[in-house]
Amino acid sequence: MNKRRKLVIALSAGALAAPFASIAQQQSRIFRVGILATDSLETRRPTVEILIRTMHELGYVEGKNIVFEARYANGDTARLSALATELAGLNLDVIVVPNGLATQAAARATEQAKRTIPIVFAGWANPVGSGLVASLARPGGHVTGMTNITVELTGKQLQLLKEAFPKISQVAVFVDSTTSAAAAYWGEVERAAKALGLQTLSLEMRGVDDMERSVASLRNWRADSMLVLNTPINQNNRRLLVQIAERTRLPAMYGNDQYSNIGGLISYGSDDKVRWQKSATFVDKILKGAKPADLPIEQPTTFELVINLKTAKALGLSLPNSIMLQANKVIE
């Protein structure tokens, strides 16, 4: 074998060995995934478990090739900044968040730490409007994930509430005034209310105290129904909001099934479980080398109408067949 042939064989062997060495290195590496949530471990557990289970199905085993670092604000959004800073100081490969509030906190913390840790959100009403991403098709930065299109669904929620209870005329709307999408939400509410012939009262929520005070406002205004928008502060305090509807005995519409599962009367929104499954696939792609800037933000295609018939009976309410036939899930 001449020297030239030997050199070609040697180069070929080196070229083949390099990819295998890279694969072996990736397989032996332990990835670190952060989770930053505005609510508590108790309320966030079901979706986090979906994330972990889906990652397992994609080949990741906790403690073997992946580790999760979770931080929970327990409904106290003032704690988000400190928790995000704590996560940004760790050697993380990606941070997963449930909503826009947590996304923005994580983005600020990574910027202050001068680190571009990829961020994947599992549900955000207004990612483009926030300025953190350039467009849904090409995010352009280190943030991507799934929208929950809750703003766009607001009109449909009001329409379903009116269909379920045709006699309602005065709807109290629980608005999270801290969210960047507050104006967009209210615009959708006013448009739909006008078309349906409904009067609306805006109850601005900034925390638990506002929610407690809302009971007097509901009675003074003589509200005959409630619409609870699916925003971070409302979501963090969903149990309290369900209790307020029970105390005032008003029919209420909520933004996802997490309300209905704990006693909320009716909910309509994108499937939270599907969004967290999809978020896991985003994480998987990023861990395999994809850049968030090149991963288009996806929108949900699966929506659920959930009716808690047990609550309806407790409140002495009956729902028409037209609504019952549309339900994807009935809790009895």
Return d(Cα 170, Cα 39) in angstroms, integer: 30
Residue 16, pLDDT > 70, answer: no
What predicted TM-score, i.e. pTM, was given to this entire model? 0.82
The mean pLDDT of 135-151, rounded to a whole number, is 92
Query: Domain 150-270+303-331 is in which class?
Result: alpha beta
Beta strands (DSSP E) in the chain are 31-37, 66-72, 94-97, 119-121, 143-145, 170-176, 199-205, 225-228, 252-254, 266-270, 303-308, 329-331
Report which of 290, 295, 288 is spatially closest to residue 65, judged by C-alpha positions. Answer: 288
The residues spanned by each domain of the chain are 9-147+272-294, 150-270+303-331
What pLDDT, on the 0 to 100 scale, is given for residue 176?
Answer: 82
What percent of the chain is predicted at pLDDT more than 90?
67
Return the CATH number of the domain spanning residue range 9-147+272-294. 3.40.50.2300
Tokens coding 241: 């909001």
Per-residue model confidence (pLDDT) at position 183:
83
C-alpha to C-alpha distances, 330 to 117, 143, 263, 320, nearest whole angstrom: 41, 36, 12, 14
pLDDT tens by residue, 240-289: 999 999 999 999 999 999 899 999 999 999 988 899 999 999 999 999 99
CA atoms of 208 and 298, how far apart (whole Å) = 32
Domains 9-147+272-294 and 150-270+303-331 share a fold: yes
Q: How many other CB atoms are there within 10 angstroms of residue 155's CB atom? A: 18
| DSSP-assigned letters across all residues of 187-237 | HHHHHHHHHHT-EEEEEEESSHHHHHHHHHHHHHHT--EEEE---HHHHHT
Q: How far apart are CA 91 and CA 251, in angstroms?
A: 47
In tens, the pLDDT along 169-209 reads 999 999 887 777 788 888 999 999 999 999 999 998 888 88
The pLDDT of residue 22 is 44
Specify the 3-state DSSP secondary structure of 328. coil
pLDDT digits (tens, 9 = 90+) for 121-135: 998 888 888 888 999
pLDDT above 60: residue 13:
no
- The token pair that represents 50 in the structure block: 């979906």
Average per-residue pLDDT for the chain? 89
pLDDT of residue 14: 43
- 135 burial (CB, 10 Å; 0-12 / 13-18 / 19+) is exposed
Percentage of residues in the chain having pLDDT higher than 70: 92
pLDDT tens-digit readout, 30-39: 999 999 998 8
Q: Provide the pLDDT for residue 313.
A: 96
Query: Given the structure tokens 């009109």, which residue do they identify?
Result: 155
